[in-house]
Amino acid sequence: MKSDKLNYRPDIDGLRAIAVLSVVFFHAWPQKPIGGFVGVDVFFVISGYLITTIIVENLNADRFSFSSFYSRRVRRIFPALMIVLATSLAIGWIYLFPDEYRILGKHILASIGFVANFMFWSEANYFDVKALEKPLLHLWSLSIEEQYYLLYPAILWSAWKARVNLMALTAIGLGVSFAACVYLSATNPTAAFYSPLTRSWELLSGGLLAILVIRSPSFARLQGSTAICAIASIVGILLLGRSFIKITPASTFPGWLALMPTAGTVLLIAAGPATWINRNILASRMLVWIGLISYPLYLWHWPLLSFAYIREGQMPSFAVCMIVVAASVVLAAATYRFVEVPIRMVPSVAAAAGLGATAICVFGFGLAIFETSGFGFRFGDQRETAEFFDGLRYDPNTHIEERNLISQNQCNFYDYAAVLPTTIPRPAIAPECYQKQSPQSVMLWGDSHAAHLYSGLKQTLPNDVSVLLVFASGCKPNMFSESELETNRCHRASWFAMKTAREQVPDVVILASDSFFDVPLVRRLALELKGVGVKHVIAAGLVPHWSGNLYRIVFRNFWPDVPRRIKSFLDRRIRDEDLRSLEALTADEPFEYISMFNTLCDSDGCLSYLGDDLKTGLVTFDNAHLRPKASEYVARNALTPMILRDLERRDGRTSDAKEP
């Protein structure tokens, strides 16, 4: 007799709706303090439950077939995915610069190969582009699911053949995965987020529930208890609600916190379809409809938001986001009605063959984009200049001298050569970074926003003033913990900077970073530095931040008549922070604050380029890091006069800055 465990449950579609709506809301309005990204964890549990139910039911009936299983997966996953990928390629042809289009081609290849999570994991370092500049970033979760689908059926089938206890096996796998998740969330959050090892426990949670429902008569009897099921559904919905409120992008995630959405989803599924919450809320007509289109909605919404961001050069307005979300819903409904449903009626062999051929075509076009570096011929008279900045931004084999002047990686504790992102620091930095060669010296301490000031100071300070640099990408000047010196680059860099200050005793220390200014912290650091003999501490404020890469803003909005100063496309939060920092200062601070906005901006806007040549004069090579000419401009007009004034005040002689 055929089991009824595969009977359709509308409340699970309602759960899908809650998951996808939370993700869409979070992506469209990220400024809201809602952890909507946990909707992905809900999807993982649902997928684990449904897939395990299908596999175990078929194993029990002795009709499981790998070919049938994967044919169904192809027919389920590929139709909407291929349409979204092809559409992304078409939109990218119109809007993306060669480097952006090349990256999109690379992401197309990873997405069709279902290794996007590994691709984005390898890219997720300090120098990575913003998430909204990656139209296919959301496919990392689909890749994890597909990797699970590739391995899990074979494991279950083998265990079933060998008469291994499926429940015990799944529980062991869940425990190992969860332990790895908790450990890596604390030590390597990027790995914990993208690794299938650290995410599979959520899928296995759903799988364990499915096996329990199928194999355990006592659990089946428990499901029939109205009171217990009602309590389970109430606790489950409360846990989900708490997850959306409690878990934010600032949380250590997934880790222990992922238990909330995972357990909440498991409880809601375990409660069964008859409880009041499941029957009247989750199984409501609107939520079920959204659940039915949840997969194409998940696929559509992020690329559309990403392209809107890329096109506008900044986060789209509320109205634009509303239009994008509405368009995503319409496209998802159309994809479900006119693509997914009809393909289910096509014989499995023909459908799989057609979808496979489509995937090969999309893959081939993505490969062509990648191999041709983004079809640069699309940009006509902009091509040469666009390719110049593409190379400067992304190609380590071009513009080597300028890239080195900006990065100063010989003084960087960040392990920029690591294959995968890591917090473990480099063992050492070059001696010339921290050993002064003259009686007077200046030390820069911070992150890459300290490093980009180095070349300007070297160009403008007298030869008898040494410039030292100690930094780690992504790490502001801070206090440190000695227990973390070997595992955390930020603690290592701060420890080494203080060590250098004690041993070399620079006359002036400049604190600079890309973090919002923390007056009490800088005050404490300045007092410690002065306690070891430093005479003067300068705190450099944040440089103006553009809403995207400056060269793309210029090309998309101002080409060919590029204004010297631009008022729009600036991150207003940075200017507001600079003003707040100035207001927070007292008259007797142990440091001197310098506003970079006062140097680079005026009432007409912020400098976009210097000199007469856009190639050499554009102020930043991305959205905020200063290029050498801009670094020299800031040094000559702000930092160097302040440093020389202080040196002259103490030694009674005049040190002239270098002539331009």
- Using CA atoms, how far apart are residues 324 and 24, in angstroms rounded to an integer? 10
Taking CA 36 as the corner, what is the angle to CA 30 and CA 40, rounded to the nearest 5 degrees?
A: 125
- Give strand pairing partners of 537: 509
Going from N- to C-terminal start, the domains of the chain cover 10-371, 403-651
Residue labelled with tokens 């926003």 = 449
Q: Which amino acid is present at 126? A: Y
Q: What's the pLDDT tens digit per position in 434-446?
A: 999 999 999 999 9
Cα separation, 454 vs 426, in Å, equals 20
3-state SS class at 315 = coil
Q: What is the pLDDT of residue 422?
A: 85
Closest CA to 527 of 541, 512, 511, 540: 511
Burial status of residue 167 (CB atoms within 10 A of its CB: 0-12, 13-18, 19 or more): middle
Task: Give the CATH number of domain 403-651; options: 3.40.50.1110, 3.40.50.970, 3.50.50.60, 3.30.70.640.
Answer: 3.40.50.1110
How high is the pLDDT of residue 611? 94
DSSP state letters, 514-532: SSPP-HHHHHHHHHHHHHT
- Please tell me the distance from the alpha carbon of residue 95 to that of residue 101, in angstroms, as a whole number: 9
**pLDDT at res. 590:** 95
Phi-psi sector, 402: left (phi>0), alpha (psi -120 to 50), beta: alpha
- Per-residue pLDDT of 361-392, as tens digits, reads 999 999 999 999 889 888 877 888 888 888 88
Nearest C-alpha neighbor of 159 from the set 150, 170, 146, 149: 170
DSSP secondary structure string for all residues of 269-293: HHT-TTSHIIIIIITSHHHHHHHHT
Give the residue ranges of the chain where pLDDT is below 70.
1-6, 33, 125-129, 220-225, 649-660
pLDDT at position 3 is 41
Residue 461 confidence (pLDDT):
96
Token pair, residue 347, equals 């014989």
Burial 486-507 (b: 16+ CB within 10 A, else e): eebbbbbbbbbbbebbeebebb
Residues forming a β-bridge with 632: none
CA 366/CA 373 separation, integer angstroms: 11
* Torsion angle in degrees (nearest 10) through CA of 150, 152, 153, 155: 120
Structure tokens at 352: 């799989």
410 contacts 433 by C-beta, under 8 angstroms? yes
Sheet holding 605-607, edge to edge: 565-566, 605-607, 601-602
